C-alpha cells in the first residue's frame, strides 16, 4: 500500500507541474456528453414520505447509468436519467441502500450478496426487474474505494473522471447520502472543491462545494453542505462508459494512482 500511495502522490505532483494554469477538470470535457441530475419528487421535505424520499442511491445510480450509456438497453424505452430513476422507484422499497447494489441489480437482476447469496441490507426489491445486462460481468465495469481510503478520495475521483467513469460519492456525516460528481477543482495547496448534482437539492443544477481536508482525520469535508460542515467523502464509486475511447495499452490502473479500489465489496453504508 505504501508503494501505491507514493504513486498517487507522484501523480498529484505531476498534475500541478504539468497544468500550471488549470484549476478545474470535468469528465465530460474529455469524454463528451454532459452532467445529469435525477431528482426526487419529495420537494425537499423528509416528512413527506413520498415514494422516493430515501432513494438518493437510486438517483445517483441513475445518473451514473445515463452518463456511462448502460442505462439505455435496447427495447427499454428509457431516454433520460429520470426514466431510469422512475424505474428504480417502481421496483424498490423507499429505503436506504447503496449505489453499488442498485447498479449490480440493473446489470444482473440480483440483490444478493455474492459471498453467501443472502439479500443485501437496506431497501428490498418489491417488483422483480433489472437484469438488463445479464451477459456482462458487472465488476468488469465497476470500481469502488471505501472509507478506509478517504485520504485519497480526490485522487480516485480525478482518476475515474479522466478515464471516462460515471462517478458516485458516498457522503457521511449527520446521515449517509449519495451524490454524483462531475468535476473537481484544485489550487496551489491541493484539491479545493467538487462539482456535484444532488437529488435532494430540489433543482436540476450542477453545484460547486469547497472542500476542507482534515489532517487529523484524513478526510475531505464538504463545506456548507445543507448548512453544515459535517459531511465528508466516505466512498467513491465509478461505472465505466459502455463505449469508451480506447486507452493506450501502457495504462495500468494502479500504476496511475487509483488507490484502494477493489472489484467487489460486500459491506456497504446505506444512503438515502
Q: Rounded CA gap, 31 and 163, in Å?
A: 8
Q: Rounded CA gap, 128 and 125, in Å?
A: 7
CATH label of the domain that carries residue 17: 3.90.70.10
Residue 116 lies in a domain: yes
Q: Rounded CA gap, 231 and 234, in Å?
A: 9
Spell out the per-residue pLDDT of the chain, length 272, in tens: 223 333 444 454 455 444 444 489 999 999 999 999 999 986 555 555 567 989 999 999 999 999 999 999 999 999 999 999 999 999 999 999 999 999 999 999 988 766 556 667 788 999 999 999 999 999 999 999 987 888 999 999 999 999 999 999 999 998 899 999 999 999 988 999 999 999 999 899 999 999 999 999 999 999 999 899 999 999 999 999 997 544 433 233 333 345 555 544 444 567 77
- H or E element: which one contains 64? helix 56-68
Residue 272 lies in a domain: no
Residue 97: closest CA among 168, 43, 203:
168
pLDDT of residue 266: 41
Residue 267 lies in a domain: no
Show the domain range for 111: 2-262
Cell of 216: 487529523
pLDDT of residue 160: 97
Residue 106 lies in a domain: yes
For residue 173, give the DSSP letter.
S
For the four alpha carbons of 167, 168, 172 and 173, in that order, the dihedral sign comes to positive
pLDDT of residue 113: 66
Whether the CB-CB separation of 269 and 234 falls below 8 Å is answered with yes
Residue 215 lies in a domain: yes
Phi-psi region of 12 (alpha: psi -120 to 50; beta: other; left: phi over 0): alpha
Residue 270 lies in a domain: no
Apex CA 192: angle with CA 141 and CA 240, to 5°? 10
Cell of 44: 425537499
Residue 250 lies in a domain: yes
Residue 271 lies in a domain: no
What is the total count of domains within the chain? 1
Amino acid at each position: 500500500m505504501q508503494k501505491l500511495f507514493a504513486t498517487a502522490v507522484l501523480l498529484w505532483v505531476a498534475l500541478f507541474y504539468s497544468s500550471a494554469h488549470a484549476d478545474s477538470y470535468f469528465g465530460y470535457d474529455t469524454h463528451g456528453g454532459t452532467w445529469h441530475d435525477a431528482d426526487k419528487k419529495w420537494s425537499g421535505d423528509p416528512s413527506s414520505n413520498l415514494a422516493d424520499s430515501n432513494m438518493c442511491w437510486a438517483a445517483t445510480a441513475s445518473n451514473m447509468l445515463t452518463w456511462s450509456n448502460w442505462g439505455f438497453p435496447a427495447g427499454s424505452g428509457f431516454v433520460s436519467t429520470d426514466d431510469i430513476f422512475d424505474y428504480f422507484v417502481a421496483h424498490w422499497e423507499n429505503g436506504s441502500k447503496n449505489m453499488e447494489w442498485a447498479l449490480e441489480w440493473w446489470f444482473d437482476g440480483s440483490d444478493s450478496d455474492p459471498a453467501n447469496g443472502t439479500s443485501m441490507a437496506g431497501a428490498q426489491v418489491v417488483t422483480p426487474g433489472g437484469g438488463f445486462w445479464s451477459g456482462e460481468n458487472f465488476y468488469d465495469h465497476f470500481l469502488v474505494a471505501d472509507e478506509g481510503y478517504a485520504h485519497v478520495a480526490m485522487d480516485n475521483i480525478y482518476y475515474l473522471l479522466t478515464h471516462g467513469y460515471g462517478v458516485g460519492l458516498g457522503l457521511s456525516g449527520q446521515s449517509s447520502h449519495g451524490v454524483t460528481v462531475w468535476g473537481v477543482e484544485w489550487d496551489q495547496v491541493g484539491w479545493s472543491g467538487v462539482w456535484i448534482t444532488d437529488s435532494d437539492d430540489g433543482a436540476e443544477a450542477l453545484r460547486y462545494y469547497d472542500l476542507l481536508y482534515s489532517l487529523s482525520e484524513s478526510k475531505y469535508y464538504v463545506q456548507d453542505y445543507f448548512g453544515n460542515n459535517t459531511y465528508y467523502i466516505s466512498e467513491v464509486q465509478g461505472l465505466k462508459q459502455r463505449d469508451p475511447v480506447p486507452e493506450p495499452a501502457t495504462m495500468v490502473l494502479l500504476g496511475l494512482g487509483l488507490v484502494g479500489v477493489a472489484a467487489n465489496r460486500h459491506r456497504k453504508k446505506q444512503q438515502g
